[in-house]
Amino acid sequence: MRIFAIVKRILAELLRDKRSLALMLLAPILIMWLMNIMFSANSDTKIKLAAVDVPQIVQKNLEKTSDVSIVEYSSQTVAKEKLQENKIDALIVYREKANTYNVTYTNTDATKTALTKQALNVALTKEKITGLSQAIQKLEVIINNINPTSTKSLFVTAGNKTKINSYYKYGNSDTNFFNKIVPILMGFFVFFFVFLISGMALLRERTSGTLDRLLATPVKRSEIVFGYLISYGMVSIVQTTIIVLATIWLLKIEVVGSILSIILISVLLAMVALAFGILMSTLAGSEFQMMQFIPLVVVPQIFFSGIIPLDSMATWVQYIGKVLPLTYTGDALTKIIMYGDGLNQLIGDIIALLIFLLVLVALNVVGLKRYRKV
């Protein structure tokens, strides 16, 4: 069988190229480790506020809010200078006559602005509640004086604090945006790494002239395509497994479903990436052109595959997402990781990926006609 001879040759070549092999298998781990450092870094935002003429009670309430520190200034001019120098994040000025708070934000960091707004709102609400409860206490005294027995219980229960207990179906209180994008990112890295390598593979065969020599034998074009798919497929199974396990363990992702399902879906995506890479290397004229294809193919996958929710966008934007394989992998992986879906519940995504694979393989066989007409 010619296919197996091709598979054997490609694998032999890969095994000889120790450096590429090491890069292929270690680079994903390194990237995942870097991501781990990035996202586990302390991301708490701390804000520093300046207050001018702000009532003591509001200031105290603000200070009680975590990550907020407050400095009181007697004059606005000094405080404004501090704001100018970026020493503080916002300046709160209270005008007693108009009962108005004027807040000036540096607004260089939207998160800080939002946090300041929130903190101030909370502080003012608390102030109101304190005022209210004081009024109630006074009311209580008055009512008790009128009728000492009938209404007492009412005010006692109102004074009790309501407690909230939180339970999480997925993850814990630290679960954030990052956990939502991890399944999609994982798919993205699988696609990216496999695409990169397979794109170069056939290209090297072409530039060295061996493809011409190969095509000068009675080998079928489909035998070459399948030879590449099988050999690089074997490598990409190893690579994909490494990426998946590294992501789950290094980033401590809670997986509700089965890891095996994750690997299976990822391997399917890897095969699509492989077929895609081979097709691109058929179209590219040189290594340089291949490099230019990479952002063209890879970047839209990040934008339109679900990292940013597309539901609210124009219909045509949503259609772009539908023709990108990563959309389906992202969906499937999210369902496995977060909802614990089994493969039988993900048939739609699997069929979509298989269609991608079939179409790309067919295009590859036809695409090789460029180098031999039969």
Partner 1 sequence: MKYVVYLKQIRKKFDKQVVLREINLVVKKGEILGLIGPSGAGKSTVIKTMLGMEKADGGEAFILATTMPNRKILGRIGYMAQSDALYETLSAKANLEFFAKMKGISKEQLTNEITHVARIVDLSTSLNRRVSEYSGGMKRRLSLAIALLGSPELLILDEPTVGIDPALRKKIWQELGILRDAGTSILITTHVMSEAELTDRVALLLHGNIIADDSPQNLEKQYAVESIEEVFLKAEESEELR
Q: Does residue 19 bind partner 1 (CB under 8 A)?
A: no
Contact 238, 270 (CB under 8 A): no
> Measured from the CB of residue 372, what is the shortest distance to partner 1 in angstroms?
5
Q: Does residue 200 bind partner 1 (CB under 8 A)?
A: no
Q: Does residue 2 bind partner 1 (CB under 8 A)?
A: yes
> Measured from the CB of residue 8, what is the shortest distance to partner 1 in angstroms?
8
Alpha carbons 340 and 334: distance in angstroms, whole number: 9
Going from the C-alpha of 134 to that of each of 127, 138, 208, 374, the distances in angstroms are 11, 6, 87, 92
> Measured from the CB of residue 3, what is the shortest distance to partner 1 in angstroms?
10
β-pairing verdict for 47-52 and 68-73: parallel
Interaction residues for partner 1, span 201-230 (CB under 8 A): 208-210, 212-220
Given the complex with partner 1, which of 3 and 279 has the nearer CB atom?
3
Contact 90, 62 (CB under 8 A): no
Q: What are phi and psi of 99, to 5 degrees?
A: 50, 55
DSSP class of residue 108? S
Only one of the segments 5-13, 115-123, 271-279, 290-298 lies at the binding site for partner 1 (rule: CB under 8 A); that segment is 5-13
> Measured from the CB of residue 295, what is the shortest distance to partner 1 in angstroms?
29
Interaction residues for partner 1, span 230-289 (CB under 8 A): none
Query: Cα 31 from chain centroid?
Result: 14
> Measured from the CB of residue 46, what is the shortest distance to partner 1 in angstroms?
56
Q: Does residue 82 bind partner 1 (CB under 8 A)?
A: no
> Measured from the CB of residue 21, what is the shortest distance to partner 1 in angstroms?
12
Q: Does residue 11 bind partner 1 (CB under 8 A)?
A: no
Q: Which residues of 118-141 are buried (b: 16+ CB within 10 A; e: fewer)?
A: ebbeebbebeeeeeeeeeeeeebe
- The three-state secondary structure class of 219 is coil
Only one of the segments 2-10, 86-94, 155-163, 322-330 lies at the binding site for partner 1 (rule: CB under 8 A); that segment is 2-10
Instruction: Give the count of alpha carbons within 13 A of 237, CB side only.
Output: 7
Contact 256, 230 (CB under 8 A): no
Alpha carbons 40 and 113: distance in angstroms, whole number: 23
Given the complex with partner 1, which of 3 and 352 has the nearer CB atom?
3
| Sequence letter at residue 226 | F
- Residues contacting partner 1: total by CB under 8 A: 23
> Measured from the CB of residue 201, what is the shortest distance to partner 1 in angstroms?
12
* Residue ranges that bind partner 1, judged by CB under 8 A: 2, 5, 9, 12-13, 16-17, 208-210, 212-220, 371-374
